[in-house]
Chain A
Amino acid sequence: MALSAESIPMRWPAGPLDIARGEKTKGFSADTAAVLRNWQDPESLAVVQGSPVNCLVVSWAADAGQQEALKPLIEKGKQAGLEFVGLIEGEANKPAAVAAAQSAGLAAVAMEGDAPASAGVPVIPWNKAAQVRSSAKSPVVGVSDGVFPGLPQGATPQGGPTNLPWVDSNGAILLIARALAPDKTVWIGFDPPAKAAAEAYQLAVADSASHGARWVISLDDGLRADLTAKKQPAADTLKKAIDTVSFFEQHKEFRTYQPNGLVAVISNFAEPNYDSAEEAINLMPRVRQPFRLIARQRAASASFAGLQAIYYMDKEAPDAALRKKLLAFANDGGILLVPSNWPKPEGPPAPAEAYLLFSMRQVGKGRLGVCKEEKPDAYDTVADIQNIISHGKDLVRVYNAPSSNFLYETSAQGKRAVIQVLNYSRRPGGDGALFYVKEPYQSARLVSPELASPAELKWDPQEAGGAELTLPRLSVYGAIELEK
């Protein structure tokens, strides 16, 4: 089988290479080594039998021991319809490892940096988020440094009982990766903490999948050991994770929807702009404002239709064509927000508009906001942008879901939309999330791996326009399907 955009990956640590690596880590036990040996046994493939997982990511190197140890596993797996990707890490002899992968019949390899010339198998670029790059030969692009999503471990609430808590999500880096490689499927790698709960695995799957990507499912040592020992709670935990994967496979159409929002962020998402871009995009959900990303490389051909504001955030000025297009957007009534070094800002100052971070200028029917600071705080930036664009035209708002983020996406024709809701606390709140939706849709139904069947939602029209939808309490994830 060949690697494809539809491949559903799972990390499969097994064999002497993983044991040798494990032995260099603190707390590595003989039991863990035994599990790693056990998982090189073809019998262990029963764990994924009947599941949508069809691609196992094994550790790979120019290491004859590892190659030999995994040979039966790979052969049996391929017979069962599984494909294998070899993850080449560290300072391995990459050309030799790639050649061995080809000989062993692996569907692809994944590695950091550039692929060896004339590699005989597809090479998945497997880089940190800040260095994401795509390869013409691979339908998949990898992000190697994801975080396990949820509420930060050991965090204490700041500022009082009603503060919005910080959440750990891979949303920003995945949206950036997709903006940079729109024709690729994004895989993301990260490991779970020890003894992760079933809901934690569900969230890890959903956080990636809702952002249009795939988590290379990774099980913690304890869970793998318990699965080996055929313990039922472990099987139940894995089933919940797998059921969540299946849910997203049953709703593939979500991946075809485009993020909707009144504000777009334009950046090349590369140094020296990457960190500030990622942080701003991380924080956008916290001001509850749906948004779009536009890679600067594609901005000249991107549509600005439906946008109220554009935040061009790169330190480098846009080229002449893009600058002209951005200013035309402002001239036509849009709000263009730019960094402090924007050369020769157009238009006279708009003194009536006093914002903390942006100085506003009148440009045609619209406005140009020039940041007052060279290195503005990311949260202050998004908060000020929210203040400038106003809540008056909000497309969607969420109440009663302090630990949740949401994504609002619409189909190409705009007749369908989905609001995906992720609860990073992994437990139902006191109240279900309450959504305000501005646009008139005929129907709204909630689908979720947590629900046996879709639930029709009742519209509650609002006096000032729009309507609200009350969701039942969800532990991890739900999606509101909207149709006009």
Chain B
Amino acid sequence: MRQDLTRRELLAGAGVGVGALLARPAWSRAVTAPAGKVTVASCKTYGTELAPTLDKMFDQLGGLGGLVKGKTVAVKVNFIGVRWSRLGNALMEDTYWTHPRIIGATVSLLGKAGAKRIRVLEGPWSTSESLEEVMLSMNWKPQDILNAAPNVEFENTNYLGRGKKYSRFMVPGGGLIYPGYDLNHSYEDCDVFISLAKMKEHSATGITLSMKNVYGTTPITIYGQDAGVDEPSIRPHGGRGNVFHFATRLPSKSAPQQIDMSLPKDAGFRLPRIVGELNSARPVHLAIIDGIKTATGGETAGGGAKAAVNPGVIIAGTNTVATDAVAMTVMGFDPLAEKGKAPFARCDSTLLFGEQLGIGIRDLKKNEILGVPVADVIFSYPAVREKLGPAGPPQKRG
């Protein structure tokens, strides 16, 4: 990884010039996106092999030291959906949520690389509870993460949290749906931003990987179903579907408003663009995708054919578009697929908008792919679906 980035460069995104982004007109297709560096590793369990595997992957990307030494690092994890709904008796961390051990291992390696302060962030479903509380409700041991390195903190970014005001992130070039977003202070008060996601499919966006994980940065107090009309509400209630998926209500007026109210109110149209915008406005410096244990068939439990699976793979990269493109390939999908082709049968490609917004390149050939050959770790999600049939089997933890 490139050494000695300034905070301004970091905020603008590794490899993406601030000037280039700001100069880009709205809905420009002319932006040249940067290539990324992505590494792939086989890792079957969350046991002792995990930390050395991650360490090696980070080395392959250029080492963590140059990126995080002396810096405040924010790690956005994925705790999607109502936590009380699991896939059968499978653990949430073995299906839909970033596993606590990969969070702990990442935090530990960040600490060893000299990170000054490490902040684990997420906006879990419809709650102001601390992340520690959310973890306890899953029978996790949050202390294991808090003690994995010096100066580790958690913050629930569903609301104002410990901040005094929300931070505004404008989409370089103007945006596609929204010109900008108001987020919890944590996403500004960091030097390095890491997306630590789970390798999953998604009902509205086809896939949910390191780019889509950034969607969860948006505070429910502004973008939730019960968000304040004029100003953000104090407490987070409900989900983001009304504002983002279906545009049945507006975000709080204090936040940047939708550019064009005549845009389709279809999640398959809106979410890929919104995810692209968020990744452009709040760039990710390091993407990590937990594909060790996960689930096929969707982002959360409930409905359809879903299965707890063990692909045994981790993918990490310096660019979310490139990293997600590799992950899609591992999942048995074509990262160059566009609307109408799996996994984007009913939606646009998030990666396509990432590319058009200048974040990164979907074509694997144009990125630098390291680690084990992708062909060696392919775990075909379509094949799992085919095997399960439309309803799928009852799920039991193996």
Give the 10 A-B CB pairs with smallest separation, nearest first: A159-B238, A160-B239, A391-B136, A391-B137, A159-B239, A162-B82, A162-B81, A160-B241, A464-B139, A392-B136
| Chain B proximity mask over A173-202: 1 for CB below 8 Å, otherwise 0 | 000000000000000000000000000000
Chain A residues with Cβ below 8 Å from B81 are 162
**A286-299 contact mask (Cβ, 8 Å, vs B): 1 or 0:** 00100000000000
Are B239 and A430 in contact, with the CB atoms below 8 A? no
Is there contact, CB below 8 Å, between A161 and B303? yes
**Contact check: which of A163, A356, A390, A468 meets B133 at CB < 8 Å?**
A390
Interface pair B88/A431, CB less than 8 Å apart:
yes
Determine how close the nearest CB of chain A comes to the CB of B373; give it in whole angstroms: 34
B86 contact set on A, CB distance < 8 A: 399-400, 431, 434
User: Which one, A383, A390, A434, A463, contacts B128 given CB within 8 A?
Assistant: A383
Contact A402 B84 (CB under 8 A): yes
Write the nearest CB–CB distance from B398 to chain A, whole angstroms: 12
Instruction: Give, as a whole number of angstroms, the nearest-CB distance from B54 to chain A.
Output: 21
B349 contacts partner chain A, Cβ-Cβ < 8 Å: no
Bound Cα distance A387, B241 (Å) = 25
Q: Please determine whether B238 and A430 come into contact, CB atoms closer than 8 angstroms.
A: no
Interface residues on B, range: 35 or more
For B84, B89, B141, B225, the residue with the greatest tally of chain A CB atoms inside 10 Å of its CB is: B84
List of B residues within 8 angstroms of A470 by Cβ: 88-89
For A389-416 the 0/1 string (1 means CB < 8 A from B) is 0111010011111100000000000000
**Chain B residues whose CB sits within 8 angstroms of the CB of A160 once the complex forms:** 238-241, 245
Whether B300 pairs with A162 at a CB distance below 8 angstroms is yes
Fill in one digit per residue for A433-467: 1 if any B CB lies within 8 Å of its CB, else 0.
Answer: 01010000000000000000000000010111110
Contact B127 A383 (CB under 8 A): yes
Minimum CB distance partner of B241 in chain A? A160
- Does A356 lie within 8 Å of B235, measured CB to CB? yes
Inter-subunit contact B139/A436 (CB<8 Å): yes
Once the chains bind, are A387 and B129 in contact (CB under 8 Å)?
Answer: yes
Please give 15 more A-B residue pairs, beta carbons under 8 A apart, in addition to A162-B300, A463-B139. A159-B237, A159-B238, A160-B245, A162-B85, A354-B162, A380-B235, A384-B128, A386-B129, A397-B84, A397-B137, A400-B86, A400-B301, A431-B86, A460-B397, A462-B139
Contact bitstring A306-349, B, C-beta under 8 A = 1, else 0: 00000000000000000000000000000000000000000000
Q: Report Cα–Cα, A341/B353, bound state, in Å.
A: 54
Q: Is the CB of A161 within 8 A of B300?
A: yes
How far is it, in angstroms, between the C-alpha of A466 and the C-alpha of B127 when the chains are bound? 25
Closest residue of A by beta carbon distance from B81: A162
User: Closest Cβ of chain A: how far from B208's Cβ, in Å?
Assistant: 14
- Give the Cβ gap from B11 to chain A, nearest Cβ, in Å: 27
Q: Are B82 and A163 in contact (CB under 8 A)?
A: yes
Secondary structure type dominating chain A contacts: loop
Q: Taking each of A160, A379, A462, which has the highest tally of chain B beta carbons within 10 Å of its own beta carbon?
A: A160
What residue in chain B is nearest A465 (Cβ atoms)? B139
B interface SS class: loop
Smallest beta-carbon distance B263→chain A, Å: 20
Name the B residues within 8 Å of A460 (CB-CB): 89, 397
CB distance from A318 to the nearest CB of B (A): 28
Contact A163/B394 with A354-B162, A387-B133, A399-B85 known, Cβ cut-off 8 Å? no
Interface centre among A159, A386, A436 (most CB of B within 10 A): A159
CA distance A324 to B82 in the complex (A): 40
Can you name 24 A-B residue pairings with CB atoms under 8 Å? A158-B238, A159-B224, A159-B239, A160-B238, A160-B245, A162-B82, A162-B85, A163-B239, A354-B162, A356-B234, A356-B235, A379-B237, A387-B128, A387-B129, A391-B133, A391-B137, A394-B136, A398-B84, A400-B301, A431-B87, A431-B88, A431-B301, A436-B139, A463-B139
Closest to A373 in B: B234
Q: Which residues in A have some Cβ–Cβ distance to B below 8 Å? A: 158-164, 288, 354, 356, 377, 379-380, 383-384, 386-387, 390-392, 394, 397-402, 430-431, 434, 436, 460, 462-466, 468, 470
Chain B: CB-nearest residue to A384: B128
Query: Does A163 contact B238, Cβ atoms closer than 8 Å?
Result: yes
- In the complex, are the beta carbons of B303 and A430 less than 8 A apart? yes
User: Least Cβ distance of B28 to chain A in Å?
Assistant: 32
B134 CB to nearest chain A CB (Å): 8
Contacts of B167 in A (CB 8 A): none
* B302 part of interface (Cβ distance < 8 Å): yes
Chain A nearest CB from B139 CB (Å) reads 5
- A402 and B85 within 8 A (CB): yes
**A468/B239 contact (C-beta < 8 A), A400-B84, A430-B302 known:** no
Q: B residues 232-272 with Cβ under 8 Å of A?
A: 234-235, 237-242, 245
* Complex CA distance for A320 and B394, rounded to whole angstroms: 57
**How many angstroms from the CA of A379 to the CA of B89 in the assembled complex?**
28
Q: Which residue of A lies closest to B86 (CB)?
A: A399
**Closest B residue to A398 using CB positions:** B84
Chain A residues contacting B85 (CB-CB under 8 Å) are: 162, 399-400, 402
Query: Nearest chain-A residue to B126 (Cβ)?
Result: A159
At the interface, yes or no: B380 with Cβ under 8 Å from chain A? no
Residues of A within 8 A of B84 (CB): 164, 288, 397-402
A271 CB to closest chain B CB (Å) equals 27
Question: Which listed residue, B126, B141, B300, touches A464 by the CB 8 Å rule?
Answer: B141
**A446 to B262, alpha carbons, bound, how many Å?**
54
| Option from A164, A387, A391 in Cβ contact (under 8 Å) with B82 | A164
| B130 in complex: contacting residue of A163, A379, A387, A399, CB < 8 Å | A387
CA–CA, A379 and B236, complex, Å: 11
Give every chain B residue within 8 A of A394 (Cβ-Cβ). 136-137
Residue B178 interfacial (CB < 8 Å): no
- Decide if B344 is an interface residue (CB 8 Å cutoff): no
In whole angstroms, what is the CA distance A82 to B270 when docked?
66
CB distance from B281 to the nearest CB of A (A): 23
Distance of A160 Cα from B220 Cα, bound (Å): 13
Q: Is B169 an interface residue (CB 8 A)?
A: no
Q: Which residues of A contact B45 (CB under 8 A)?
A: none
B333 CB-CB contact with A under 8 Å: no
**Interface mask (B122-164 → A, CB under 8 Å = 1, otherwise 0):** 0001111110010011011100000000000000000100100
Taking CB atoms, residues of chain A closer than 8 Å to B3 are none
Per the bound structure, the CA–CA distance linking A402 and B127 in Å amounts to 16
CB-defined contacts of B87 to chain A, threshold 8 Å: 431
Whether B302 contacts A161 by the Cβ 8 Å rule is yes
Per-residue CB contact flags for chain B residues 75-94 toward chain A (1 = under 8 Å, else 0) read: 00000011011111100000
- Shortest C-beta distance, B65 to chain A (Å), equals 32
* B32 on the A face (CB < 8 A): no
Query: Nearest chain-B residue to A357 (Cβ)?
Result: B235
Residue of A with least CB distance to B136: A391
Residues in A with CB closer than 8 Å to B238 are 158-160, 163
Q: Please measure, in the bound complex, the distance between the C-alpha atom of A382 and the C-alpha atom of B296, giving whole angstroms.
A: 35
Contacts of A159 in B (CB 8 A): 126, 224-225, 237-239, 241-242
Closest chain B CB from A387 CB (angstroms) = 5
